[in-house]
Structure formats: C-alpha cells, structure tokens
Amino acid sequence: MKKIFKKKFLPKLKILLAILLSCSLIFIEKHSNALDKIKYYLENIINPIYYIINVPFETLHHIIDVFIKYDKLKFENYNLYKKYLIKNNEQLLLEYYKKENMQLSKLLRFPIKKNEKKIVAKVLLNYLHINKDQIIINKGSKHDVYLGQPTLNESGIIGKVVAIDKNISKISPICSKLHAIPVKILRNNIHAILIGNGCDKSLILKHIPKKNNIKIGDILITSGLDGNFPNGYPIAIISSILKSFKYPYYTFLAKPIAQLKYINYLLLYWKI
C-alpha cells in the first residue's frame, strides 16, 4: 500500500513544488532586485557561449546566401546574354535582308529592251580564286538556261554560263582566264579585246597602238561583235597604262565595273 501511495503521490508533489517555486521566483523578481545579479552573471556566461555556437551557423548561412545570389546572378546573366544574341542576330538578319532588297530593287529597275528577256537568279556560291573562278546560281536547264548565256547585274556584265544542271548553273566571270571579250571605249568608240587574267588580277587590253586616245577612267562597254554578249553594256573601267619602249604598243589594265566578289543576285539574259 505504501509503494502504491508513493507512486501516485510523488508525481503530484513534484508538480506542486515546481509551481510553488515558479510562483516564488516570479514574486521575488517583481518585488525585489535579488535575481538581477544572478541574471547578469548568467547572461555574461551564456552570451559568449551562444555567440561561439552561433558563429558557424551564421557563416554557413552567409555562404549559402552568397551561392544562391551567385546562381541567381548567373542565371539572369545567361538570360540577358541569350536575349542579346537573339536581338543581335535579328539585327544582322535585318541588315542582310535590307542589302538583298536593295540589290533586288536595282535589278528589277534594270531597263529591258523589246527584244530582250531577263530573269533574276540567286548566287549560291561565289568562288573567285586562282584557276577556279566560278559563280554558282540557282537556275538551270529547267529554267531554259543555255551554255554561253550572258549574265549581268545593275552595274554591268558579270560573265557567261559554262556548265548547266537541272536546277543550277556555273558561271565563268569576266575576270576568268577563259574570257576574251570584244569591247569598245564608250567615249570614242575605239575597239579592243578585253582579256581575263584571273579574278585576283586586273583585266587586260593588249597590243593597243601608242598613238591612241585611251585614258585612265575610260569606260569599256561590250561591242557585241562576238555574237554572245549584247551590245552596249558596261563591263570595265581603265585603271592604269603599262608603257613599253621596246614595242610599238601599250598594255592597258582595267577593273570590272560590277563588284564580282559581293554579288548575291544577277540577271540571266536572253535575246528574243
């Protein structure tokens, strides 16, 4: 009986004592300063311990915060860079299409005579190199392209067709060594033969008598005497004179009027 009494009574007694102790401490704190010194000493002991314990947690929290901010900045920077690339690419495409539209506008404004037919072709490959001067276009036998067909743009003669497939054709530009084109000086109608010398070099007028009336800056146009290139189209401009005292003639150098390296479109020519 005593053991049972102890088991039932002791827990209740502990709770009662705890309540009485708490009430006593609250009363003393309110009506006396006796506990202030104890609290002061306890705080002085506990605060450094709390600080020491808290430092690693604060440091870890700071490091985690730095990494989170870094990842956030990295992500934002990546998104901004993507936007910049897209916008820059759009700007480049816009400039490219503007240039293409300008070239097409000039070609479409090109005058057409009654007995002539011209269609626009896009340049797929422009490869001007020693012994391999060629331009590939997106028109072929399917579009009635024929061997030897003249090609030109708004500036002047480009060259002639030398190979044909169903949907593409190869053009030999006037600067190619394959060409020897009858021309005349626009200013005074003097006739000559313009010879290709490779697209990395100037065009040549050979065996011109010393007593001539040709000047630097004179424009050369096609004479039509070969029956291939149409008459009266600009082709080159005289750029320099090579004088020789050994021979009774001069050699003239000329540059193509059309910017052969930078064409994106050209015209295929038919005589009707």
Q: What is the pLDDT of residue 93?
A: 57
The pLDDT assigned to 5 comes to: 46
Q: Residue 241 — left, alpha, or beta (φ > 0 → left; ψ -120 to 50 → alpha)?
A: beta
H-state helical runs in the chain: 2-31, 34-108
CA distance readout (Å), 41 to 29, 33, 38, 153, 227:
16, 14, 5, 99, 117
The answer to the question of residue 194 being in a domain is yes
Q: Write the CATH number for 239.
A: 2.40.10.350
Q: Specify if 153 maps to a domain.
A: yes
Domain boundaries, position 122: 116-173
Quick one: 184 and 169 in the same domain? Answer: no
Distance CA 168, CA 163 (A): 9
pTM, two decimals, is: 0.62
Collapsing DSSP to helix, strand or coil, 33 comes out as coil
Output the pLDDT for position 118.
86
The per-residue pLDDT for 68 is 79
* Whether residue 95 sits in one domain with residue 66: yes
How many domains does the chain divide into? 3
98 lies in the same domain as 134:
no
The reply to whether 168 and 194 lie within a common domain is no
Q: Which of 93, 109, 125 is the last residue of a domain?
A: 109
Regions of the chain where pLDDT drops below 50: 1-2, 5
In a domain, 245, yes or no: yes
What per-residue confidence (pLDDT) applies to 58?
Answer: 73
In a domain, 1, yes or no: no
Residue 81 forms part of a structural domain: yes
Tell me how far CA of residue 174 lies from CA of 45, 89, 122, 235, in angstroms.
Answer: 98, 35, 18, 8
Q: For residue 29, is it within any domain? A: no
The confidence score (pLDDT) of residue 98 equals 65
Residue 270 located in a structural domain = no
> Within this chain, do residues 166 and 197 fall inside the same structural domain, yes or no?
no
In a shared domain, residues 137 and 196: no
Which of 261, 155, 137, 257 lies closest to 200, judged by CA? Answer: 261
For residue 157, what is the domain's CATH number?
2.40.10.340
Q: Is residue 220 part of a domain?
A: yes
